[in-house]
């Protein structure tokens, strides 16, 4: 009666990624070597060796990234071996980071391991995060129209994007 609280609208105002965009997912048994770029969410529960760029990057509990991560929002629950550049960086208990973290805001839970410098830079993403401008030079391997076509040895050497563990 005397202390009426003002109710906030029920919408999620902190979401930078539209809800209609489905996340890209790297599963537990998958290893990707090379650059991974997404305009929306990118969840890693497997292994990535290379550069990751997305609006929302999530390295889950079993995820391992050997390379740098750039994004507006970054959640780390797994292992990262390389620099992290993000607007908002969240490091959860059990996470392991070996590399510098450049951020606007950061949250580190007790039990997380960070070996590297943590630097505040509010303009970190102004000139660096532009996924629409990143284009592929050319396809690594052309897709054959026939279903039974087998790659040559030269094409197998060029194809180093995905290896899957059984």
Q: How does 95-107 read in b/e, with b if 16+ C-beta sit within 10 Å?
A: bbbebbbbbeebe
Residue 117 has pLDDT above 80, yes or no: yes
**pLDDT band for position 143 (cuts 50, 70, 90):** very low
pLDDT at 2: 52
Q: Which long-range contacts (CB under 8 A, 24 or more apart) does 69-74 make?
A: 70/125, 70/128, 70/129, 71/42, 71/129, 72/16, 72/125, 72/129, 73/16
**pLDDT band for position 11 (cuts 50, 70, 90):** very low
What pTM does this model have? 0.65
Residue 150 has pLDDT above 80, yes or no: no
Residue 9 has pLDDT above 50, yes or no: no
Least confident residue range of 13-22, 109-118, 147-156: 13-22
Least confident residue range of 41-50, 61-70, 117-126, 141-150: 141-150
């Amino acid at each position: 009666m005397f202390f009426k609280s003002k109710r906030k609208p029920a919408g999620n105002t902190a979401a930078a990624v539209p809800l209609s965009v489905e996340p890209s997912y790297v599963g537990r048994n998958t290893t990707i070597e090379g650059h991974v770029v997404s305009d929306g969410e990118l969840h890693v529960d497997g292994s990535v060796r290379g550069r990751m760029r997305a609006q929302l990057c999530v390295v889950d509990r079993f995820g391992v990234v050997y390379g740098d991560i750039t994004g507006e929002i970054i959640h780390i629950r797994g292992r990262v071996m390389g620099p992290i550049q993000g607007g908002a960086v969240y490091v959860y208990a059990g996470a392991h980071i070996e590399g510098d973290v450049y951020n606007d805001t950061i949250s580190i839970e007790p039990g997380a391991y960070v070996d590297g410098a943590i630097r505040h830079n509010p303009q970190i993403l102004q000139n660096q995060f532009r996924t629409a401008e990143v284009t592929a030079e050319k396809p690594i391997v052309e897709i054959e129209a026939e279903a039974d076509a087998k790659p040559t040895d030269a094409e197998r050497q060029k194809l180093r994007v995905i290896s899957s563990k059984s």
